[in-house]
């Protein structure tokens, strides 16, 4: 009886091209787009505001802070809206968690979905910690706000370009894998890693255990979806620091037969790319301006608000509705089309029927409208039961079209007396680039509102004064200090 021995070739290959391209972009691409920098400023303010608003909710506040209560780290990261002083890994987790808690920060929709401003958790933590350390020790890089904006543009680009043609959700992986990769890339450069070390760090990010989407979908939707990005950015910072300490990488982490990312997690397929890295994603990012709602439902909520006013003008209410037909995109059908009981806040803000019902009943949709108290109103589930949700192929096509990137929804109501109201169709929300001029003042109002929900008038005034265009040369720690919660 003979046995066959497999001998593996142990020659070290050159790093995978995907890793090389990302590292080349991070280290050598110059950000020179005025539009990207202008949008990045809006994105920074909006993202910080979303974090402040998230802290209103005790479950979020409980997650932010040190692992061991009372721990204060020398030259540590300040978490906006709190008094915490943390190490950069825990700081990244805390900032990333408060940013994402309410599902109100920016969005990118393609073959993969995600929220590129999630990366700010790692970027701001590293920039703040390194700046405070440099000032305390008298040497090292002092980061400016412009450095943060440029890192945000690059993190947005890495996450967004990888998302354009590659669906991680279709193999069951959560989109925070891209947050981990993008943050790892940009903080590696910030930490002083070389081109080669950045490749090593990226390989560590891809080999790291990746999150499943289980917590985003029925019947298991729960609040981990609100801290998954915090976990991703904290792991990214940790991995970059490990490589900075001398750890090596795995050059063929993606392409290695049997054991690589493609074979193990991506059904043997290699990543596809629609375009190279530049500043496209930040220039075209989607802001959530009007409603804290999963982005595929934003235009449906806007349509429902319009229909609420139509009903009101006719002297009618949601009680007069017999049926509702919602036309949406394929992605909306997969992510937020739900029937049956909704068990928690996270379940409700990922249900298109719930997000349409609330504005039809109340003429609004706020973060508080996902609470148990509002959800207990029997009219909500009665209205959900009257809804039919179907895919509109045109919306799906325009969703993926590079020149459009629409997120269309249409809502039509039939009343109890048989009257069919005119269907309201909205192709792209106020946060879309095509409505940027209209949306920017409203986005800044949102930032102002979130500041006032956390701070007193004097502190709000100071933050607004320091956040005007031209604040790019301000030291990061000085700007972050403005957001420290004063008892």
Domains of the chain plus CATH, in order, are 17-287 (1.10.4100.10), 295-429 (3.30.1330.120)
Q: What is the pLDDT of residue 476?
A: 98
How many other β-carbons are positioned within 10 Å of the β-carbon of residue 268? 10
Token digits for 108? 């990118």
Nearest to 279 by CA among 156, 177, 439: 156
CB neighbours of residue 291 within 10 Å:
28
CA 241, 117, 205, 349 dihedral sign is: positive
**Consecutive 10-residue runs of the chain (487 residues): their mean pLDDT?**
69 96 98 97 98 96 96 97 98 98 92 96 98 97 98 98 96 97 98 98 97 94 95 98 98 97 98 97 94 90 97 97 97 94 93 98 95 96 98 95 90 98 95 92 96 97 95 97 90
Length of the chain: 487
pLDDT in tens, 210-239: 999 999 998 999 999 999 999 999 999 999
**For residues 61 and 226, what is the distance between their CA atoms, to the nearest angstrom?**
12
Q: What is the largest CA-CA distance in the chain?
A: 88
Location of structure tokens 């070739």: 9
Helices 176-190/145-165 angle, 10° precision:
140
Residues 6+ apart with CB under 8 A from 41: 149, 469, 471, 472
- Cα 137 versus chain centre, distance: 34
pLDDT tens readout for residues 64-110: 999 999 999 999 999 999 999 999 999 999 999 999 999 899 999 88
Q: How open is the CA angle 123-125-129, to the nearest 5 degrees?
A: 120
| Nearest C-alpha neighbor of 406 from the set 286, 256, 277, 317 | 286
Q: Which residues pair with 415 in a beta bridge?
A: 321
pLDDT at 218: 87
Q: What is the pLDDT of residues 247-284, one digit of tens each?
A: 999 999 999 999 999 999 999 999 999 999 999 999 99
Judging by beta carbons within 10 Å of its beta carbon (0-12, 13-18, 19+), is residue 256 exposed, middle or buried?
middle
Burial category of 464 from C-beta neighbours within 10 Å (exposed 0-12, middle 13-18, buried 19 and up): middle
CA distances from 236 to 180, 209, 258 (A): 5, 12, 25
pLDDT attached to residue 8: 77
Please state, in angstroms and rounded to a whole number, the distance separating the CA atoms of residues 160 and 158.
6
- Per-residue buried b or exposed e for 351-385, using 16+ beta carbons within 10 Å of the residue's own CB: bbbbbbbbbbbbeebebebbeeebbeeebbbebbe
Bridging pattern class, strands 85-86 and 321-328: unpaired
**Spatial CA neighbour of 307 closest among 187, 194, 387:** 387
Q: Which residues pair with 151 in a beta bridge?
A: none
State both tokens at 154. Answer: 């690059």
């Amino acid at each position: 009886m003979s046995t066959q021995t497999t001998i593996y070739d142990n020659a070290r290959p050159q790093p995978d091209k995907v890793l090389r391209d990302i590292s080349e972009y991070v280290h050598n691409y110059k950000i020179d787009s005025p539009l990207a920098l202008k949008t990045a400023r809006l994105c920074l303010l909006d993202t910080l505001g979303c974090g402040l608003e998230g802290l209103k909710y005790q479950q979020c506040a409980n997650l932010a802070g040190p692992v061991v209560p009372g721990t204060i780290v020398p030259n540590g990261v300040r978490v906006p809206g709190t008094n915490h002083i943390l190490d950069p890994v825990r700081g990244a987790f805390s900032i990333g968690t408060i940013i994402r808690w309410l599902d109100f920060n920016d969005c990118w929709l393609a073959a993969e979905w995600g929220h590129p401003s999630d990366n700010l958790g790692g970027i701001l933590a590293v920039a703040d910690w390194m700046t405070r350390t440099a000032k305390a020790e008298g040497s090292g890089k002092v980061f400016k706000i412009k450095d943060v904006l440029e890192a945000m543009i690059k993190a947005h680009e890495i996450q967004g370009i990888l998302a354009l043609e590659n669906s991680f959700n279709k193999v069951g992986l959560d989109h925070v894998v891209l947050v981990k990769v993008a943050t790892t890339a940009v903080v590696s450069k910030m930490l002083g890693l070389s081109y080669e070390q950045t490749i090593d760090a990226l390989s560590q990010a891809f080999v790291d255990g990746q999150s499943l989407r289980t917590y985003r979908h029925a019947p298991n939707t729960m609040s981990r979806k609100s801290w998954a990005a915090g976990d991703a950015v904290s792991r990214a910072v940790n991995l970059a620091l490990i490589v900075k300490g001398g750890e090596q990488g795995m050059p063929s982490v993606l392409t290695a037969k049997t054991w690589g990312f493609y074979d193990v997690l991506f059904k043997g397929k290699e990543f596809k790319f629609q375009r190279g890295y530049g500043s496209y994603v930040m220039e075209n990012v989607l802001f959530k301006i009007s409603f804290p709602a999963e982005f595929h439902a934003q235009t449906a909520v806007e349509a429902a608000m319009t229909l609420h006013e139509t009903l009101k003008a006719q002297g009618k209410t949601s009680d007069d509705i017999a049926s509702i037909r919602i036309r949406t995109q394929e992605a909306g059908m997969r992510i937020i089309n739900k029937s049956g009981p909704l068990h928690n806040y996270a379940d409700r803000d990922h249900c298109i029927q719930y997000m349409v019902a609330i504005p039809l009943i109340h003429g609004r949709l706020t973060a508080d409208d996902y609470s148990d108290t509002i959800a207990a109103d029997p009219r909500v589930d009665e209205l959900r039961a009257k809804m039919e949700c179907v895919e509109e192929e045109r919306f799906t096509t325009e969703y993926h079209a590079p020149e459009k990137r629409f997120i269309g929804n249409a809502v039509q109501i039939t009343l109890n007396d048989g009257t069919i109201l005119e269907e309201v169709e909205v192709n792209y929300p106020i946060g879309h680039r095509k409505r940027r001029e209209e949306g920017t003042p409203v986005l800044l109002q949102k930032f102002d509102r979130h500041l006032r929900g956390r701070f007193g008038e004097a502190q709000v005034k100071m933050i607004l004064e320091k956040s005007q265009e031209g604040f790019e040369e301000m030291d990061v720690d000085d700007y972050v200090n403005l957001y420290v919660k004063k008892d």
